[in-house]
Amino acid sequence: MSILEAEHICKSFNRTKVLKDISFSLEKGQALSIIGSSGSGKTTLLRCLNFLETPDKGIIRVNDEILFDAEDPSTRLEASIRKKRLHFGLVFQSFNLFPQYTALRNVMLARELLASEQPDYKARKKEILEEIRVQAETLLDQMGLANRKDNYPHQLSGGQCQRVAIARALALQPDILCFDEPTSALDPELTGEVLRVIKELADENTTMVIVTHEMAFARDVADHVIFMDDGSIVEQGEPMQVFEHPKEERTRQFLQRFTQG
Amino acid sequence: MGQIMEQMPIVVDALNIGFLQTLKLFFVTLIGAFPLGLVIAFGSMSRFGPLKYFSKFVVWIIRGTPLMIQLLIIYYFPGLVLHTPIWGGGESGRFLAAAFSFVLNYACYFSEIYRGGIQGVPIGQEEAGLVLGMTRRQIFFKITLLQMIKRIVPPMSNEIITLVKDTSLARIIALQEIIWAGQAFMKGSHGISGAIWPLFFTAVYYLIFNGILTLLLGRLERRLDYFR
């Protein structure tokens, strides 16, 4: 059963069509890589999944539940969108950590705020906060940042910041974790540490959508690859097939440009 | 010199009273202009056209003309031209008119600083909050507000220190603040006349008060230094 299904997603900014009839699905526990040149619509697609953009047309389904249907205005209500966003996590290219909080607080904050809305929050406050703190520490530990938890973002390297951001997204236990070019803002020597933790997450069968320019990584980590160009899916399939035996001329040209650097 | 030492206690007493009025105008302006500035800032960022252009128009007028002219117009116009003296007579009327002018003037300057502070927080901060399931209210209070405050403290400090000195402009409508009190000794007051040194001496009050403010605002700036 597919955990995520996107059907006929279209999105325009003013008169520019950025997404033209995008349909794909993703199985639970699988990693999907989306590759393509800048401006092909990859990031917009991720932003649509996370409700940061509203598609003009199309349906988004998670676990067979319709989260968004452009035809059905009731799925666009601000109040319900907030809860739907929690199905997805998003790791940004530019980290977007909260600068005034330590690494640990960055990971804890959203869960704390959600917990404070629970009916039994007041009665069990201490217990709940302790639980959240332990979970956040475990996540940072898993990201190799146990000794960095009390540092503020400006005291961390780009790679460390991005790993905090990954922990922050994981803290809410999303069904699907999205990465928007997670290493594009990093110095080359720092990309490895971030790609390594994403690979570890893939090996633990975390369901992921990864938009990336790291071709070797996309091929290595993904169960499924989508190549996008000019707002459309040109080709998709298993990594071996897309990278080794692309059917489409455009895919071949793109891969050639990338492998030649 | 001996004469000055004799006159000193009388002068200081009079200047203290004037400085109290200066301080009153200073604090009333801050208390009024902090929130009004925020209202104007949101007005000038509004998506509702008429409100946006009205706010921008007001800011243009107020920032584009001297505060002294604004004081004169606001104080004299209702009584002399409209024949409805809304401010009332005496010192309290003058204070009301001065406070109104200063609040309006400073709110416009503050609004531009607020706007810079709000727009200076990267959009990614709000988006990060959204994808983490936060409400807009939570995002404002837990994420953007403190970053905004950090951004506006240095330009605000500048404006606040300018305000201390600008209060002296209220002298033009004869508000009995410290400049007025110092000047009184030239014409004759408390049995002292023809003395200009009390007027010069008022500068010491401004210096000391601004010195204290600089220290306090600097401390606030340093307290927000723990993040970038």
Whole-number pLDDT of residue B161: 97
Helices and strands counted in chain A (H then E): 9, 10
Whole-number pLDDT of residue A73: 87
Residues of A near B (CB-CB distance < 8 A)? 50-52, 82-83, 85-86, 88-90, 92, 94, 96-101, 109-110, 113-114, 152-154, 168-169, 172
Closest Cβ–Cβ partner in A99, A100, A172 for B133? A172
Residues B98-109: pLDDT tens digits? 999 999 999 999
Tell me the pLDDT of chain B averaged across its residues: 93
B residues 84-113 lying closer than 8 A (beta carbon) to A: none
Nearest to B149 by CA among B191, B184, B120, B189: B120
B134 touches chain A (CB under 8 A): yes
B124 touches chain A (CB under 8 A): yes
Q: How far apart are the first and last CA of chain B?
A: 54
CB contact at 8 A, A59 and A113: no
Distance between CA A170 and CA A173 in Å, rounded?
A: 5
Look at strands A88-91 and A31-35 and give their pairing. Answer: unpaired
Residues B116-139: pLDDT tens digits? 999 999 999 999 999 999 999 999
Q: How confident is the model at residue B8 (pLDDT cuts 50, 70, 90)?
A: confident
Nearest to A162 by CA among A224, A210, A130: A210
Whole-number pLDDT of residue A162: 97
> Which phi-psi region, left, alpha or beta, contains residue B174 (left: φ > 0; alpha: ψ -120 to 50)?
left
Tell me the pLDDT of chain A averaged across its residues: 94
Residue ranges and CATH numbers for the domains of chain B are: 2-227 (1.10.3720.10)
Phi, psi (5° rounding) for residue B27?
-70, -40
Give the pTM: 0.86
Q: Could you write out the DSSP letters of every residue in A198-251? A: HHHHHHTT--EEEE-S-HHHHHHH-SEEEEEETTEEEEEE-HHHHHHS-SSHHH
Whole-number pLDDT of residue A258: 77
B147 touches chain A (CB under 8 A): yes
Residues in chain A with pLDDT values less than 70 = 260-261
Order of strands across the sheet with A16-27? A16-27, A2-13, A57-62, A65-69
Q: A37 vs chain B: nearest CA distance in angstroms?
A: 22
Instruction: Quote ipTM for the complex.
Output: 0.93
Closest Cβ–Cβ partner in B128, B134, B150 for A96? B128
Distance between CA B74 and CA B27 in Å, rounded?
A: 20
Q: B140 vs chain A: nearest CA distance in angstroms?
A: 12
Q: Do A113 and B138 touch (CB under 8 A)?
A: yes
Provide the percentage of residues in chain B whose pLDDT is more than 90: 80
Nearest residue in B to A170, CA atom: B132
Residue appearing with tokens 């393509």: A36
